[in-house]
Amino acid sequence: MINLFKIYNPINILWLAVLLFITRIGYLAQLPGKVEFIFVEPFARLLIPVSYEYAFAPFTNIFLAALLILVQAVLVNYMVNHFNLLGKPSFLPALMYVTVTALFTPFMVLSAPLICNFLVIWMLFKLLSLYKSDDAKSTAYDLGIIVALGSLIYLPYIYLFLSIWIALIIFKPFNWREWISGVLGYFTVFFFFAVFYYLNNRLGSFYDIWAPLGTKFPAIHIKYINYLVLVPVLLILVLYFFKLQQNYFKSYVQVRKSFQLLFIIFLIAGFSFYVKSEFNLNHFLLCAVPAAVFFSYYFINAHIKWFYESLYLLLLISIIYFQFNTF
């Protein structure tokens, strides 16, 4: 499987579609009666004055989510190859993205974090392009707008604003105008949103939008046996860090800095879950894009075929097994 996707062959898109079905077969066999789809935050609900939460039947919901994941996988693959993050073109990033987004059943349905992953990919295109840009003010402004749009869909996305400033630190010499441009981009969207609130006589509650940012970490009750699927994931991440360490100073400066940024985005996306009063596992879909790149880096540089093929097979088996066995 891994060797097949190490080759840059567009036919692999068909194999991705097959893998999407295989990694969801357990969930499809035990479809719930209904699946809720929340597209925007409650404070932005005025923008969509129709009922849509249960507009899709469960099978349709899962099918549409799989279609979006396939499109996102191709976009992630294009991004990684465009910036040459792995050293040679392949379809491994797409394979890893499809795999990571099948780890848990909440990842397999339509959700706000899944929609936001389009914005994560868009942001990464712009962030990684900062390295070769002479003037980053317009890019930073655009990035601020993207973060604001993501915040309307899913409030924890607001913390990805930090990635704009961190990217400017990593890729560019300090220029206060570039730092301010990101802030202006963010507030441009919310200025028009405030006008919308005013026209609907709700300006008084506009300031409550950011109240969740001051909440405490939610109570999390974890049934650890359901998370054993993460054992091969953690092993792959450990092996990735070893490979990255071995090749770090052999890589181009841009590649090294890009992996620094991806790791920081991975951490920001992961730890921003506390903004929601209820713990939702689908939040961690925001970590899927950088995780897919990390996995790809290990597998593209792994040399012991029987080991890395067996490791990926173990991950696939774990995903399917835990769909049928929720304990």
* DSSP-assigned letters across all residues of 214-239: GPPPPP----GGGGTTHHHHHHHHHH
- Residue 289 clears pLDDT 90, i.e. is over it: yes
pLDDT tens digit sequence for 140-153: 999 999 999 999 88
- Residue 326 clears pLDDT 70, i.e. is over it: no
- Residue 291 clears pLDDT 90, i.e. is over it: yes
Nearest CA among 120, 121, 116, 109 for reference residue 67 = 109
Q: What is the mean pLDDT of residues 59-81?
A: 92
Nearest CA among 181, 149, 151, 152 for reference residue 165 = 181
- Backbone angles phi and psi of 74, in degrees to 5: -65, -40
Look at the pTM and tell me if it is higher than 0.85.
yes
Which range (3-7, 68-72, 235-239) has the least confidence? 3-7
Give yes or no for a contact between 185 and 143, defined as CB atoms under 8 angstroms apart: yes
pLDDT score recorded for residue 50: 65
- Residue 205 clears pLDDT 80, i.e. is over it: no
- Residue 222 clears pLDDT 70, i.e. is over it: no
pLDDT score recorded for residue 180: 93
pLDDT score recorded for residue 101: 92
Question: How far is Cα 307 from Cα 119, in angstroms, rounded to an integer?
Answer: 35
Q: What is the mean pLDDT of residues 291-298?
A: 94
Percentage of the chain lying above the pLDDT 70 cut:
90
Question: How far is Cα 149 from Cα 308, in angstroms, rounded to an integer?
Answer: 39
From residue 139, alpha-carbon distances to 167, 252, 259, 286 in Å are 11, 23, 20, 21
Which range (86-95, 141-150, 181-190, 212-221) has the least confidence? 212-221
Which spans in the chain are helix H?
2-6, 12-22, 25-29, 58-82, 92-100, 112-128, 137-153, 161-171, 176-199, 230-247, 253-271, 288-301, 305-324
Question: How far is Cα 322 from Cα 325, in angstroms, rounded to an integer?
Answer: 5
pLDDT tens digit sequence for 172-198: 888 889 899 999 999 998 888 888 888
pLDDT score recorded for residue 70: 94
The amino acid occupying position 43 is: F
Question: How far is Cα 289 from Cα 117, in angstroms, rounded to an integer?
Answer: 8
Question: How far is Cα 290 from Cα 269, in angstroms, rounded to an integer?
Answer: 10
Q: Give the Cβ contact number of residue 42 at 10 Å.
A: 9
Question: How far is Cα 179 from Cα 112, in angstroms, rounded to an integer?
Answer: 28
